[in-house]
Amino acid sequence: MREHRGMTRRRALGIGGALGLLATTGLSAAAALARRPSFTGAQLRSTAALPPPFQTPMPVPSVLRPVSTSEGADRYEITQREATLQVLPGISTPMWTYGGTFPGPTIESRRGRKVIVTHHNELPVPTVVHLHGGRTPAAHDGYPTDLVLPAAWSHLALHGGHAGHGSAGGHGMTDARAVVTNRQRAYEFPLDQRATMLWYHDHRMDFTAPAIWRGLAGLHFVRDDVDDALDLPRGDHELPMMIADRAFDADGRLAYPALDPTLTGQPGVTEAYLAGVLGDVILVNGAPWPVHEVDTGVYRLRILNGSNARHYELEAVAENGRTLPLVQIGADQGLLAAPVRHEHLPIAPAERYDLLIDFGGLPVGSRVRLANRLGTGRTADVMQFHVVRHGASAPIPDRLADDLPEWDRSQATVIRDFAFRAGRMNGRHGWLIDGQPFDPARTDVTTRLGDIEVWRLIADVHHPIHLHLVGFRVLSRGGAEPLPHDAGLKDTISLRPGESAEIITRFDGYRGRYLFHCHNAEHEDMGMMANLEIV
């Protein structure tokens, strides 16, 4: 990491010569590892019998009821447990779940009202829960070594959970700051943040990718008065949609190329999948290529790319070939200032988009395919909408939110450069930030609470970069203007092979140890993560 304190005119103009050289040298890894220009990774082939598309109704995840709403907080209980689910019709698939479902149950919350979620670990391995996109105190952010141990491992936690040295994972590292608990942990979320759709998932060091693949992911909505005041679709016209790819073996089990399928020893995947694991079955809310019945009104699609490594480029196509606009009204961290219209929309792992789609110009009986322009064969389809009745339409607001931060690069106290590239880690292939693999004992970045910073990022292959705690604005890509889908406040930015970008943020909220990392989950597990200390 190269740090520049203060501002000069040349630095303020954008990505400089040093990052340009880095982009050039990093392209050798891109050429070696990017299988095709639309994604980074290798695809598993299912051997199970796959269903025809657009036959299974799209499920909507259930909303979890609080067990208590007293003393200014909503309290929830979730048990992490193994369950056998029917993902492919007529076939049983064992999964790791939050509460016995995939996705896990949705939590609905209000801005500024505390939520406390007690997770009980009945799985065979330690777990960690991270509320992705949450403005969360460090002790509850789900640091990768803050393990919740299952019963069989409870002897590793000392005196109820405050371990002097918690095991960090399969690389033999220890973390003197780790807080390890037995069987359960209560995560507290103040949720002092803009209305948006967050998601929660496992974040255990070295084993995040296979844990998410096995089912440990769910949605969490934050609502507020700004969102409520707008005339936006609600109820059954607001559709949460977690898009994720998976692969299945002949017995219907999830296929995944883990070096250690027990997820207790050697981390990582077999060599062919070092760049990322892609499945050949596209799921929406846990159902393969589903169909959803709609009317001729406007629908609000709350979309998460919950895949480990697969990128999508979404397009809504009617039977006559007409493309329906996807009108973006929100990004990772809430509403935009004004809508942005897309004919097609890229979405990287962990990114979320808040979209409106209008079926008003279609006759009853029409079908609209949500396609993936980056896919081939079966992965070119995501789901289908079937227009089955008339409905009332509503205008799309011209203005949305006026509470977006207006940071300016002239306010930045520091400019930092980061390179995300392939490299060697412990004698094996790894994914590195500025040439270093993750080490929980090393502080990579220290910043002051309240400081505004500009970060300049460069990638060798596809890397969706996620910052914990804060949202950011995209200032530029490759020295040029941001792309249309960069609008709003984000917490994850997708970098393409050889691409650079500048982002700006204010590190407010809380002091403590946080992370930034690639959200290609295999890259994350193989070292592409770094510590951010806010002091």
- pLDDT reported for residue 426: 85
- pLDDT reported for residue 422: 96
- pLDDT reported for residue 427: 86
> Chain-centre distance of CA 307, in angstroms?
8
Distance CA 121, CA 125 (A): 8
> Chain-centre distance of CA 308, in angstroms?
9
Tens of pLDDT, residue by residue, the chain (535 residues): 556 544 333 333 333 333 443 434 444 444 444 444 467 999 999 999 999 999 999 999 999 999 999 999 999 999 999 999 999 999 999 999 999 999 999 999 999 999 999 999 999 999 999 999 999 999 999 999 999 999 988 776 643 333 333 344 455 578 999 999 999 999 999 999 999 999 999 999 999 999 999 999 999 999 999 999 999 999 999 999 999 999 999 999 999 999 999 999 999 999 999 999 999 999 999 999 999 999 999 999 999 999 999 999 999 999 999 999 999 999 999 999 999 999 999 999 999 999 999 999 899 999 999 999 999 999 999 999 999 999 988 888 999 999 999 999 999 999 999 999 999 998 899 999 999 999 999 999 999 999 999 999 999 999 999 999 999 999 999 999 999 999 999 999 999 999 999 999 999 999 999 999 999 999 999 999 999 999 9
- pLDDT reported for residue 30: 43
- Among candidates 496, 535, 532, which has minimal Cα distance to 517? 532
Where b means 16+ CB within 10 Å and e means fewer, 349-363 reads: bbbbbbbbbbbbebe
- Domains located in the chain, CATH noted: 2-33+405-534 (2.60.40.420), 73-229 (2.60.40.420), 235-389 (2.60.40.420)
CB within 8 Å of 359: residues ≥ 6 apart: 294, 295, 296, 297, 298, 299, 324, 366, 368, 385, 387, 391
- pLDDT reported for residue 172: 59
- pLDDT reported for residue 9: 31
How far apart are the two ends of the chain, measured CA to CA in Å? 19
CB within 8 Å of 25: residues ≥ 6 apart: none
- Find the helix or strand (DSSP H, E) in which 213 lies: helix 208-213
Distance CA 509, CA 467 (A): 13
- Find the helix or strand (DSSP H, E) in which 24 lies: helix 17-33
Cβ atoms 53, 381 nearer than 8 A: yes
- Other CB atoms within a 10 A radius of the CB of residue 4 amount to 15
Distances (CA, A) of 482 to 312, 468, 475, 509, 523: 19, 22, 6, 26, 25
- pLDDT reported for residue 170: 52
Distance CA 352, CA 346 (A): 11
Secondary structure of residue 478 in the 3-state scheme: coil
Q: What is the DSSP letter of 226?
A: H
- Find the helix or strand (DSSP H, E) in which 9 lies: helix 9-12
Whole-model pTM: value is 0.93
> Strand order of the sheet with strand 217-223?
104-110, 217-223, 196-202, 129-132
Q: How many CA atoms lie within 13 A of 410 on its CB side?
A: 2
Cβ atoms 321, 362 nearer than 8 A: no
Distance CA 117, CA 139 (A): 14
